[in-house]
């Protein structure tokens, strides 16, 4: 008989969390999804709810949580700049108090714990592409700091619980990821551009569109999550997870306009404060230790993502 494990996924109703819950259930594991539904949605997990091995709990991880589990994926945190800046104090609390609670839980039940960290720990990087050894360039008092510094402090807590209490930790620095199940109002660039293109609305480019990002398709990233969790106990990370192919925001807009056959025009808006100029992961460590690299080129991943938004918009 297959031995299944129990997983707690915080932020399990969000974009990445819901894909992860589905994958873990497919692998025959039991999953407890904990979410306060701040940016997550029931629609993302509705089709999992008939599965007797799936449980969901409305809970805010800034408060203590007493449950039993073998493995924790800590994903709870709004990820889109408009959402994490809406209530910045809550964002920092989620990253910091949330991490303390989940680490306290992991310590009590002796669970392995994974932290969804971010490329934002590198801030507006002066080193390109970014390897894990780069310490970053973050403005600690800017509008993005609630997220960037919150996630940096969470990494500190993970490594101190590891050193001080011997916890088994995995810290993954995730670079921009996209795919189906992103919320319509998510506000991040891929979903904004697709929705605008499908509606033939102006494409809102912040700044001149020369800033770069590297976009990873969600299925590739979830494979990397599983490989990271399954890696040897000595491997703690931090490990960069993302697609190393870099695009300017303007190129992304043009690709999406082409693929949707849209008549949208580009509309240039002011660049938000501290918006990083360039971002591309150095994934040598993931290639080497996890034997992982993404396999989905941008246009291939955009196809199902465009189809997903097209369906949602037509059902409205």
One residue of 56, 101, 130, 177 binding ligand NAD per CB under 6 A: 177
8 A C-beta contact, residue 99 and residue 150: no
Tokens of 144: 């993005």
Tokens of 69: 């589990």
Decide whether 187 or 237 has the Cβ nearer to ligand UDP.
187
Tokens of 141: 């008092």
Contact letters (x/-) for ligand NAD, 20-39, by CB under 6 A? ---------------xxxxx
Decide whether 94 or 211 has the Cβ nearer to ligand UDP.
211
Of residues 77 through 116, those in contact with ligand NAD by CB under 6 A are 77-79, 94, 98, 116
Half-sphere exposure of 289 (CA within 13 A, CB side): 22
Binding of ligand NAD by 130 (CB under 6 A): no
- The H-or-E segment that residue 178 falls in is strand 177-178
Of residues 239 through 298, those in contact with ligand NAD by CB under 6 A are none
Binding of ligand UDP by 25 (CB under 6 A): no
Binding of ligand UDP by 136 (CB under 6 A): no
Contacts of 98 (CB under 8 A, 6+ apart): 10, 61, 62, 74, 76, 77, 154
Binding of ligand NAD by 135 (CB under 6 A): no
Residue indicated by tokens 């108090």: 97
Give the residue numbers marked as catalytic: 147
Half-sphere exposure of 47 (CA within 13 A, CB side): 7
Give the whole-angstrom CA distance, residue 226 versus residue 294.
Answer: 13
Positions touching ligand NAD (CB under 6 A) are 10-11, 13-17, 35-40, 60-62, 75-79, 94, 98, 116, 118, 174, 176-177
Positions touching ligand UDP (CB under 6 A) are 64-66, 80-81, 100-101, 104-105, 107-108, 176, 188-189, 192, 204-206, 211, 213, 249, 272, 275
């Amino acid at each position: 008989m297959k031995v299944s494990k129990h997983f707690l996924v915080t932020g399990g109703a969000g974009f990445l969390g819901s894909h992860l819950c589905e994958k873990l259930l497919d692998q025959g594991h039991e999953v407890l999804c904990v979410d306060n539904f701040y940016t997550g949605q029931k629609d993302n997990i509705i089709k999992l709810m008939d599965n007797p091995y799936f449980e969901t709990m409305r809970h805010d991880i800034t408060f203590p949580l007493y449950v039993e589990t073998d493995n924790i994926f800590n994903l709870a945190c709004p990820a889109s700049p408009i959402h994490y800046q809406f209530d910045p104090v809550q964002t920092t609390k989620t990253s910091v108090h949330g991490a303390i609670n989940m680490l306290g839980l992991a310590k009590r039940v002796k669970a392995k714990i994974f932290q969804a960290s971010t490329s934002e720990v590198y801030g507006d990087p002066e080193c390109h592409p970014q390897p894990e050894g780069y310490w970053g360039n973050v403005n600690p008092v800017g509008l993005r700091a609630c997220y960037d510094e919150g996630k940096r402090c969470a990494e500190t807590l993970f490594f101190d619980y590891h050193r001080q209490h011997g916890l088994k930790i995995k810290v993954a620095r995730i670079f921009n990821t996209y795919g189906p199940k992103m919320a319509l109002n998510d506000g991040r660039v891929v979903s904004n551009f697709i929705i605008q293109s499908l509606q033939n609305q102006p494409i809102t480019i912040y700044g001149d569109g020369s800033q770069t990002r590297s976009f990873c398709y969600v299925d590739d990233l979830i494979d990397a999550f599983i490989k990271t969790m399954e890696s040897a106990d000595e491997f703690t990370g931090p490990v960069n997870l993302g697609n190393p192919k870099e695009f300017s925001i303007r190129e992304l807009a043009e690709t999406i306009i082409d693929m949707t056959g849209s008549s949208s025009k580009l509309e240039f808006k002011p660049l938000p404060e501290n918006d990083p100029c360039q971002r591309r992961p150095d994934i040598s460590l993931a290639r080497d230790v996890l034997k992982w690299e993404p396999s989905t080129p941008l246009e291939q991943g955009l196809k199902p993502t465009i189809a997903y938004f097209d369906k949602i918009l037509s059902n409205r």
